[in-house]
Amino acid sequence: MTAEPTVRETEDAERDTVRAEAGLALIYYVAVLGYLFVHQENELQHYVTLVGLPLGLILIHQRRRRGEWSLRHALSTVGLRKGMLGSGLAWAVPLGLAVSLTIQLLFSRNAAAFRDLVTSGRVLYLLPIAFALLWPIVRLRSCGRTSRRQGIPSPVR
């Protein structure tokens, strides 16, 4: 007669599974980041390499490990849980800004000009102004309106 696993054992096993899948996702994203330094992609290819393939790999890993497909569990593996989106975004925005600013400072063609902006302190008011100016474009695109109808040039073709 085998004993039923305790709640604690079940939670520990679930936590280990989530950590393993999150580790695989992290390794994948580091590999994709290296690939993107060499090869440029359009938006559709970005969606496939940064969303579709990782989610598919997590689902395949889940199927092998747990014997079931669960989109909810796959999304929770990468931090998308109901009620937890706020904390994920609270970390993603500053980290994303820090990474993009670091890359611009170190590797951009205009790195010297960007360093001048940062060292002079002008970045403190120019960066928020840039986001404020881009916000209407983002809102128009998210509402399903095309940029041509509004007279705004499309940045990507």
Return left, alpha or beta for 70; rule: phi > 0 is left, psi -120 to 50 is alpha, else beta. Answer: beta
State the DSSP string of 62-86. Answer: HHHHHSS--HHHHHHHTT--TTTHH
Domain residue extents for the chain: 1-82
End-to-end CA distance of the chain: 65
Closest CA to 47 of 156, 133, 127: 156
Q: What number of other Cβ atoms are within 10 A of residue 18's Cβ?
A: 15
In whole angstroms, give the CA distance from residue 121 to residue 128: 13
pLDDT bin (cut points 50, 70, 90) of residue 147 is very low
State the average pLDDT over residues 120-126. Answer: 88
Q: Say what the pTM is.
A: 0.43
Structure tokens belonging to residue 2 = 């085998």
Q: Which segment of 6-20, 29-43, 45-59, 124-138 scores lowest on mean pLDDT?
A: 6-20
The answer on pLDDT for 85 being more than 80 is: no
Q: What is the pLDDT of residues 18-39, one digit of tens each?
A: 787 677 778 888 888 888 888 8
Stretch among 63-72, 80-89, 101-110 having the lowest mean pLDDT: 80-89
Q: Which residue has the higher pLDDT, 145 or 47?
A: 47
pLDDT at 138 over 50: yes
Q: What is the mean pLDDT of the chain?
A: 76
Spatial separation of the C-alpha atoms in residues 85 and 78, rounded to whole Å? 11
The one-letter amino acid code at 152 reads I
Percentage above 90 pLDDT, the chain? 1
CA dist 156 → 89, 144, 153 (Å): 25, 16, 9
In angstroms, what CA-CA distances link 106 with 11, 27, 55, 125? 43, 23, 31, 21
